[in-house]
Amino acid sequence: MAKKTVSAKKRNALRMLIVEARFYEAISDALLAGAVRVLDEAGATYDRIAVPGALEVPAAIAMAVDAAQRKRAPYDGVVALGCVIQGETYHFELVSNESARGLMDLSVNRQLAIGNGILTVDNEAQARARSTDDGRNKGASAARAALAMVALKRKLAGH
């Protein structure tokens, strides 16, 4: 049996995680398309996890990162995607603030390279405008931010 070889490019490919909140499916699909395009262009591999809403994103990241570490296949970086639209109640502020706080806590306390692509907008029109493919796609921006933070982490570590 021939031994399968892995190219140097694949061996050195970044291993990324995408966690996406699916509450607003059309917006999530567009954000995901932007993030995937950027990661594909960078030659990164990625796993994708879908969760119900933005509040679940930080917990899913923590669970996935821990599981990947146990399997000795850690992620280099994470892209968080989702959308929170202003409503008539205080719930918008809670979800927006706590999801952002959760991502920041993970990033700082666990030194994770996270790109935050969770939109916090006043209405659906603003969400659509920030998830289009005209250069303003925040999923793509979050993937670029995650890649930049991975590069910084590697540079600081001397890699």
Compute the distance between CA of residue 126 and CA of residue 85 in angstroms, rounded to an integer.
9
The token pair that represents 134 in the structure block: 């005209």
Q: What is the greatest pairwise CA distance in the chain?
A: 64
Catalytic residue among 41, 43, 73, 91: 91
The stretches of 42-112 forming alpha helices (DSSP H) are 57-70, 91-109
How far from the centroid of its chain's Cα atoms is residue 80's Cα? Answer: 3
- Note if 159 is an active site residue: no
Extended strands (E) in the chain: 15-21, 45-51, 77-85, 114-121
The token pair that represents 129 in the structure block: 């405008």
How many CB atoms are closer than 10 A to CB 53?
A: 16
* Residues with a known catalytic role: 91
